[in-house]
Amino acid sequence: MVQAKALTKRFGEFEAVRGIDVEVRRGEAFGFLGPNGAGKSSTMRMIASVSPRTDGDLKVLGLDPDTDGPRIRARLGVVPQQDNLDNELTVRQNLQVYGRYFGLSRAETRRKAVELLEFAQLTDRAEAEVEPLSGGMKRRLTIARSLVNDPELLLLDEPTTGLDPQARHLLWDRLFRLKAQGVTLIVTTHYMDEAEQLCDRLVVMDGGRIVAEGSPAQLISRYSTREVLELRFPPGQEFPPEHFADLAERVEPLPDRILLYTATGEAALEQVHARGLRPLSSLVRRSTLEDVFLRLTGRTLVD
């Protein structure tokens, strides 16, 4: 669906995307995971064929965005980072206006709006204005609107940023449905749980480069251990990483806690206690993509 080779985007002197190679296959959910400023949105905008590449090769749906932008855009759905719904119109009107924009007849537009309201679980809000809707409802409406032209490929830029956990789950559920219907999804996110939940494959981006690529499970097994023990010590009682070197494969000190990477966190915790150490808190958890990112970049995803 998307093939990029040495894809580059420069803004003046500044290189936001530094020669990345990406291939997105039909039917998969593909993710760009990285912190703010990693170059995810710039990449998405090139794929969406609204921002020309500076260098490299790019094919979207087999076409070149430089010469076939309108044909590509007609077959894409785009959910931008900021909702750009028309606040003066009702929920239904927002969908219908978009349908007309894509050249559907009035009858088709009406039928499509009914279907999409159902999909977005907004049927009972159809005649409501957009402004007072919750953030989650607005996002679902934006996604519904992006589906007006039955896109084969849906691009979602940070789809759940700013939503509460329940709203995020509801939204993920809608995206799973689309995937089950065969829509290819490309998602940018700086939430590791979103990438883990949604993506079959992903690339980790940092500073305009791809630093790792694979399925969430592959990345975790390649770059982390099965479990992590998180320890917090009272002020004045912090310990240097070397203190735990024999208890874990890797020890990562963060400003507010220390992470011990190990196959069995409980065993490591017992050892900590056996040494007479009394952390303020301890947590054994499985490794996540956050740990992968920390390992690859030395930084956390969300500061």
Ligand X SMILES: Nc1ncnc2c1ncn2[C@@H]1O[C@H](COP(=O)(O)OP(=O)(O)OP(=O)(O)O)[C@@H](O)[C@H]1O
Task: State which residue, 42 or 96, has the beta carbon closest to ligand X.
Answer: 42
- The size of the interface with ligand X (CB under 6 A), counted in residues, is 11
Sheet holding 209-214, edge to edge: 76-79, 153-157, 184-189, 29-33, 201-206, 209-214
Paired tokens of 237: 């009682």
Q: Considering the complex, what minimum distance in angstroms separates the CB of residue 40 from ligand X?
A: 4
Pick the binder of ligand X from 6, 11, 57, 162 (CB under 6 A). Answer: 11
Task: State which residue, 204 or 269, has the beta carbon closest to ligand X.
Answer: 204
- Alpha helix positions (H), 75-161: 91-101, 106-119, 135-146
195, 159 contact by CB (below 8 A): no
Gyration radius (Cα) of the chain, Å? 22
| Residue 18 touches ligand X, criterion: CB under 6 A | no
Angle between helices 106-119 and 91-101 (to 10 degrees): 130
Paired tokens of 171: 């939204």
Q: Considering the complex, what minimum distance in angstroms separates the CB of residue 38 from ligand X?
A: 4
Q: Considering the complex, what minimum distance in angstroms separates the CB of residue 190 from ligand X?
A: 6
Query: Interface mask (CB under 6 A) for ligand X, residues 74-103, using x and -?
Result: ------------------------------
Residue 168's nearest CA partner among 187, 154, 152, 155 is 187
Q: Considering the complex, what minimum distance in angstroms separates the CB of residue 205 from ligand X?
A: 7
Q: What residues between 30 and 49 interact with ligand X by CB under 6 A?
A: 34, 36-42
Q: Considering the complex, what minimum distance in angstroms separates the CB of residue 159 from ligand X?
A: 12
- Triad 199, 200, 203: Cα angle to 5°: 70
The binding site for ligand X (CB under 6 A) comprises 11, 14, 16, 34, 36-42
